[in-house]
Structure 1
Amino acid sequence: MNELKELTKAEEQIMQQLWEMGGGFVKDIMEQLPEPKPAYNTVSTIIRILETKGFVGHEAFGKSHRYLPKIQKEEYKKLITGKLLHNYFNNSATSMLSFFLEEKKMDVKELDEIMQIINKNR
């Protein structure tokens, strides 16, 4: 398979639904999307793009297709966090953690949980 590419916001929204559902038909995916819902053809086109990018596969049921994630959420999460760390924090997890603390995106309880993880992995 080709190297994983970052998804657009619309593609990521569809993938989030597919990961949560484990797969589904276009109508099933649409039911899960928030209002205002995109047009059926829009969702169908995005899914075909995701299939071209290697993120989605399908099972054929006559003329209908049930779409399934080919890339697991964890794999995509690694790609995105790696790019975030590299592009915005010079590959420094310390800088990234500092940023989240300074921006109040993390509270003391979460920091304690991180310290427990650090201590566990020493």
Structure 2
Amino acid sequence: MKINHLTPSEEILMSILWKLDCAYMKDVIAHYPEPKPHQNTISTFIKILVEKEFLTTEKEGRIFKYTVAIPFTDYKNFLLSNFIERYFENSGIELLKSLRKENWVHPLDIKEVFATETVLHSHLESDEKNSEISDFVAEITADKKLKTKKNKKKKNKKTKNDK
């Protein structure tokens, strides 16, 4: 399913429907923030959202029930992906650097997130992958002396293999 951008007015309406998951027109109007637009305006926006495939409709007697077809997390990930692609050369690292530079995240927060990820992945992945990650973490956190020793060993192995 292809996700499209929403206008600000469509986003307001979808934020209501994402909270409700499914609703009738009266429910949407009741949850709409002040100043509430006319019912016909809301109806027009709903029609557009159905055409964009954000909502599905189900007729119950004379009224329609509207159900969310694209979850909020999917739309959020779509926007984030476009944002990173457009402003950060498709690099999550560049986004992270910018967030750090602007003090939106602290290095300890970043460390905590990656520590949590490592713990989660260690339970889910094979021992082989865990050892690769452990080796990598050990390598980047090791003293410089140990790093130079490892580099010398690698160079010696390469020169022996070349002979």
- On whether the aligned pair clears a TM of 0.5, the verdict is yes
2:89 is aligned with 1:93: no
The C-alpha deviation readout for 1:50-109, integer Å capped at 9, x for no partner, is 1011110012111211101011111111110000000111112222223334444x254x
Give the equivalent residue in structure 1 for 2:149: none
CA distance in structure 1 between the partners assigned to 2:109 and 2:101 by the alignment: 17
2:114 is aligned with 1:115: no
- 8 Å Cα contact 1:85-1:91 kept in structure 2: yes
2:67 is aligned with 1:71: no
Give structure 2 stretches of 5+ with no counterpart.
Answer: 119-163
Residue 24 of structure 1 aligns to a residue whose secondary structure is strand
Give the equivalent residue in structure 2 for 1:13: 12
Q: Relative to structure 1, is the Cα distance of residues 57 and 78 closer, same or farther in structure 2, using a 3 angstrom cutoff? A: same
Residue 121 of structure 1 aligns to a residue whose secondary structure is helix
Give how far 1:113 is off.
Answer: 3.5
Question: So what's the TM-score if we normalise by structure 2?
Answer: 0.66
Q: Relative to structure 1, is the Cα distance of residues 32 and 101 closer, same or farther in structure 2, using a 3 angstrom cutoff? A: farther
Sequence identity percentage:
31
CA distance in structure 1 between the partners assigned to 2:20 and 2:109 by the alignment: 29
Q: Relative to structure 1, is the Cα distance of residues 59 and 117 closer, same or farther in structure 2, using a 3 angstrom cutoff? A: same
Q: Give the letter for the 2:115 counterpart.
A: N
Higher relative contact order (CA 8 A, sep 6+): 1
How big is the alpha-carbon RMSD for the aligned residues of Structure 1 and Structure 2? Answer: 1.7
Give the equivalent residue in structure 1 for 2:24: 25
2:35 is aligned with 1:36: yes
Rg larger for = 2
